[in-house]
Amino acid sequence: MTDIVVEKATFAGGCFWCMVKPFKEWDGIYDVVSGYMGGHVEHPTYEDVKKGDSGHLEVVEITYAPSIFPYDKLLDVFWQQIDPTDADGQFQDRGHSYSTAIFYYTDEQRQIAETSKENLCASGTFTNPIVTPIRPSETFYRAEEYHQDYHEKEQEHYDEDRSLSGRDEFIAGHWS
């Protein structure tokens, strides 16, 4: 039997609560963890990140098997969950900590991400420029336990928050 090779991918797509479920639904994705990346404070708390004091973005770190679910497919899922033209946050969540980014771990991920972004720009799906940056990965800090799998732990609150955010209407309008 062959061992399955797994890799990490990290994406910032606004509120991390809304970014977990879309990735967890696929074979070949083994874990999706909410956390923080890209700031200047070691071991930031949710309050540090939310206030903007740490410079971090809310992210999801995905453990996946590229042989089952390749990185370019992860990018397809990512793009279809965000407004890549909004540099100031996502939907109802405003501010730096809710902005989007692709954090790459390898040169291959960087190249695939750049090609994916170029293809999205050329597709004509959006009239405004795609502003989601592609950045080298940094230290990942796992968010507090109550944020993990929030869509399952607090389903009623999650569903209410998501329905008010405008995210689902945006997705339906761009990715039918």
* Low-confidence residues of the chain: pLDDT under 70: 1-2, 176
pLDDT on residue 150: 85
Long-range contacts of 63-66 (CB under 8 A, 24+ apart): 63/6, 63/7, 63/8, 63/29, 63/30, 63/31, 63/32, 63/33, 64/6, 64/7, 64/8, 64/9, 64/28, 64/29, 64/30, 65/4, 65/5, 65/6, 65/7, 65/28, 65/29, 65/30, 66/5, 66/7
Tell me the domain boundaries of the chain.
Answer: 7-174
Q: Is this structure's pTM higher than 0.75?
A: yes
18 is catalytic: no
pLDDT on residue 52: 86
pLDDT digits (tens, 9 = 90+) for 105-155: 999 999 999 999 999 999 999 999 999 999 999 999 999 988 998 888 888
pLDDT on residue 1: 46
Class level of CATH domain 7-174:
alpha beta
9, 10, 14, 15: the catalytic one is 15
